[in-house]
């Protein structure tokens, strides 16, 4: 009986080590108040070496582009589109097209108009990440960013 328990523990340990989930992109958030009741929220992606995160401007037929969705709120209104720095663009054989992406880190910015003195900006982001060997399935993340 003791040998069976030890074998089960070893088997479970080996299985859990093998089944680790890859998370090559870590997200962090911040906000900064501006003049005239406006603010900017920042969505930062820190990307593991060798991986890349796709731009918001990927064309149809390519990987899933990074998308930010902000539902209507009584606390703020979204001003314009989410902006991003200039991405790297190159041809990716897997998709047989030019694709724009980011490496290492990228900060996306969204301007908002506050309806009061503070707000909590809620939204959802969808993104896909790849390296030279594999692409991970697209991921959806809900976020909540306080603006004080």
SS3 assignment, position 142: strand
**Amino acid 21: pLDDT:** 81
Print the domain residue range for 121: 23-147
Residue of 138, 78, 73, 148 lying closest to 108 (CA atoms) = 78
Decide if 60 is inside a domain.
yes
Q: For the whole model, what pTM was predicted? A: 0.84
Decide if 6 is inside a domain.
no
**Amino acid 4: pLDDT:** 44
Instruction: Identify the CATH number of the domain in which residue 113 sits.
Output: 2.60.40.1250
Per the structure, how many domains does the chain have? 1
**Amino acid 124: pLDDT:** 98
**Amino acid 14: pLDDT:** 39
**Amino acid 93: pLDDT:** 84
**Amino acid 20: pLDDT:** 63
CA distances, 140 to each of 3, 48, 56, 68 (Å): 43, 18, 14, 10
Instruction: Collect the ranges in the chain with pLDDT lower than 70.
Output: 1-20
């Amino acid at each position: 009986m003791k040998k069976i328990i030890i074998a089960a523990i070893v088997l479970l340990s080996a299985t859990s080590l093998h089944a680790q989930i890859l998370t090559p992109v870590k997200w962090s958030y911040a906000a900064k108040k501006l003049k005239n009741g406006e603010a900017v929220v920042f969505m930062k992606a820190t990307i593991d070496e060798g991986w890349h995160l796709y731009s918001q401007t990927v064309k149809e037929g390519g990987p899933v582009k990074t998308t930010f969705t902000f539902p209507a709120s009584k606390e703020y209104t979204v001003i314009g589109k989410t902006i991003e720095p200039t991405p790297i663009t190159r041809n990716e054989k897997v998709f047989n097209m030019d694709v724009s992406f980011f490496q290492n880190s990228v900060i996306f910015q969204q301007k908002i108009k506050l309806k009061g003195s503070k707000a909590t900006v809620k939204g959802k982001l969808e993104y896909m990440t790849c390296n030279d060997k594999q692409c991970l399935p697209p991921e959806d993340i809900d976020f909540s960013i306080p603006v004080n």
